[in-house]
Structure 1
């Protein structure tokens, strides 16, 4: 989103909308998108009466807004991504197989260190056909990159930033 006014589509609204418009197929799409999205948490159901998306956690069933900020952030951009794919391609059978390029600033913002280490693998499994350019300040997230996947932006003198490839294997 390059517009300063751009906003993420609400995961709650998207899930309710796709569930109502596509019935059983819509619910399967919501489940496929959200299942495995967050470690230790699984999509439970949509509560039509409260109009809420519910998740099963070790502490019981909770609403999306009761999850941690990090979980809510990742759920928000993943939900927004799938929403946009389904809106632009209504006949697309599996939005998780979409091809494209997305940019994510501070992909690991508010995430627990354990999940910072798992995020790259999760994204590659969930969205195998997407190329994702993401920024991070976390060495835990950077360590998950393979050879040729990690770059640093450095400012030289007073000039523009320069993209510098990380020469070593980040995982070492």
Structure 2
């Protein structure tokens, strides 16, 4: 798809009493432990790209199998790890329900959520869906849904208007 169906607002998730981790740089310079990330996860790519841009100050990136958001957050809350990188919406949904006492940093990056189609998908269908997504964004429907389900308008975040779908693979 050429239009994002949503925007993921990635944050660093830390314990409430953690006051030294606010940025990816803090995570690297403090030699803090990041919850391992599956190699096929976009979050892995975010950290890997950070490490490539900062060869002298890297985040310890460990690959892992699939984990639920709840398990990731519990690993931070227990002190097993110092931080996780995760979309804020998941923390907002689980933090109170699981009584985890976690908080989130400011945004460390915004990334598009997209529909993926089979290679032989009808181009007219893809274009129609992209047009509808653009219309829903323009009329405020996506922002309203974002506020309802994520407790924030991800489309109104700083730099949200710059979030584009990477189509380098086309």
TM-score (norm 2): 0.25
TM-score (norm 1): 0.24
Instruction: Report which of the two has the higher share of strand.
Output: 1
